[in-house]
Amino acid sequence: MNIGIPKEHRPFEFRVGLSPAGVEILTQNGHTCYVEHEAGVGAGFSDHDYEKAGARIVYSPEEAFGRADLVLKVARPLKEEIEWLRPRTTIAGLLHLPSARQDKIDLLLEKEITAIAYEQIQLPDGRMPVKEPLARIGGRMTAQIAATLLQNNHGGKGILLGGLPGVPPAEVVIIGAGVSGTCAAEAFLGFGAHVTVLDKYLEPLDRLATRCPHAVTMIATPANIARTCAYADVVVGAVLVPGERAPIVITREVVANMKPRSLIIDLSIDQGGCCETSRPTNHEHPTYVEEGVIHYCVPNVPSAVARTSVHAFVNAAMPYILQIASLGTEAAIEQIPAIEIAVNTHAGKLRHLSLRRPNTGDDDGLE
């Protein structure tokens, strides 16, 4: 199979769709990889690294997309990138199509593109093996992001996360006890913060309590969310519904009742955001203030540690990439349930009901 690895064209996306190690695995299995010139620079991979792994370097995005039967990306494609795809080819990446513009979905259907979303690959036990390592990275990064944004020189309240003897630590509220929420709790506790975690269900809270015995756990009712956010210095939204837009669990009224210059980090923003006042930002301008509260809503948080992120998600995605390349898209969908559940569009048809909705606008405003 011919496999294209283009350079990511979204601003501040430093990751790449495949590492040189992944290219080597594919080429050793008889596949041809076309890597766009300098596609891996943001993650510290040179063209020479890819050539040593057996890739062929191409010098335009049109060629990286146009030569490929299978395109491997990180971020959801721009409309221009979809236009570069040949009809009836396959694209795989962290697509987050439930929060994409409807005209992009329409174009995928028109060209009969098979769109496979890594973040929706799911095992029978409910685990999401490709999304998990990136969720861990995002969760762990929240503590260092919060520590910086609470500083006065970044507009924060001037609070040290861990406090000092005689001075209480920061109050951190995390909504969602999944992978990213649990990793965030561990990171904040490591800084010495006081952490409260809320979730709709007891089972994830029970798992979190075992890993983080010093965290307070609560059921995420509207009343509990409002009460905890009111005293929080930091609120982390880590809400996920696989394959769907994130539900709004933090209303504008809740935000308005938070303490001035407190901080919201919305890790759900790549799925539309779980806070009513959230809107996508980027790594250059990561924050804004609304209702007197600092909002950090960067969709691709792990991109800031691109090399670690690429190695992490390629390690997890490589078995599925190899199955698609070796079996072919049709056979992989038929034979591998974990891949089949991640197919968003195929043969001109929608495979996810969550994509059947009005044009709500792209989550980062890019075409």
Q: Which residues are catalytic?
A: 96, 270
Which amino acid is residue 231, in one-letter code? Answer: Y
What is d(CA 7, CA 46) in angstroms, rounded to the nearest whole number? 12
